[in-house]
Amino acid sequence: MSENGAYVDAGVRTYYESHGEGEPLLLLHGGLCTIETFSGQMPELAKRFRVILPERRGHGRTADVDGPITYEAMARDTVAFMEALGIGSAHLVGYSDGAIVGMLVAMRRPDLVRRLVSISGNFDCDGLTDEGRAFLESMQPDTFIPMLVDMYKKTSPDGPEHWPVVFEKVRRMALNEPKISPAELGSIKARTLVMTADRDLMTLEHTVALFRAVPGAQLCIVPGTTHALLFEKPAVVNAAVLAFLG
């Protein structure tokens, strides 16, 4: 555990770290990720904000729980986490699955979200590219991204043998969820930045539809990047996020 790390009982016993001072900003990691995947963002953001990084159920140092993993459940967990820490409102910056969780929190609990940044998030699983869907359908726990497999096995309280279980829960979720309507997106009141790679797992058309559905949203397409844009062009991502948050 990091010297900045702790656990809080938020329905799910949730591991989190906190860095920096200032307005609270939650960094919401992607599917099958740990908070280490924000290593290119956290130091820069922590110069201006109190950056809080929770690890959701079945991810990193937070144990899995019985039953399926769903975006709605993780959104409820995030609300409970904020309430458990007494965070009245915060900026939410979510990547991939974390972006979907952020959108759901902004829809369900607008009082908790100051500004929202959705990085490589989709609002409907039908928005995946053909290549993106093929990737999800064919990926296997033993041949998945080695860095993420290693981090899970090093950090999970469930032990390395639980990896295939969580892997399949998340894979199944991503193939069938989310199913958020444009009308629901229209209820988001927080100022929103929609960011994507120009070669992401979802189509550009889908991302533009998301941008158009959220009232007053801003759009940022990071050129020359894939779904791994956090690693490929961290300086570009950070500059856009910081400029938006003001």
| CA angle, 124 then 137 then 33, to 5° | 75
Give me the percent of the chain exceeding a pLDDT of 70: 100
Please list, in sequence order, all residues whose beta carbon lies within 8 angstroms of the beta carbon of residue 161, skipping any fewer than 6 positions away: none
Residue 175 has pLDDT above 80, yes or no: yes
pTM: 0.98
pLDDT tens-digit readout, 2-17: 888 999 999 999 999 9
pLDDT tens-digit readout, 200-241: 999 999 999 999 999 999 999 999 999 999 999 999 999 999
- Give the pLDDT of residue 119: 98
Q: Class assignment of domain 5-245?
A: alpha beta
DSSP state letters, 111-158: GGEEEEEEES--SBGGGB-HHHHHHHHH--TTTS-HHHHHHHHHH-TT
- Please tell me the distance from the alpha carbon of residue 163 to that of residue 240, in angstroms, as a whole number: 34
- Give the pLDDT of residue 95: 98
pLDDT tens-digit readout, 98-144: 999 999 999 999 999 999 999 999 999 999 999 999 999 999 999 99
Name 179's bridge partners: 124
The amino acid at residue 167 is: F
Residue 86 has pLDDT above 90, yes or no: yes
- Give the pLDDT of residue 98: 98
Q: Mean per-residue pLDDT for 87-98?
A: 98
- CB of 71 closer than 8 Å to CB of 104: yes
Give me the percent of the chain exceeding a pLDDT of 90: 98
- CB of 69 closer than 8 Å to CB of 169: yes
**Would you state the structure tokens that stand for residue 199, as one six-digit string?**
């070669």
Helices (H), the chain: 42-45, 71-84, 97-108, 130-138, 146-155, 163-176, 182-185, 204-213, 229-232, 234-245
Strands 90-95 and 113-119: parallel
Q: Mean per-residue pLDDT for 17-46?
A: 98
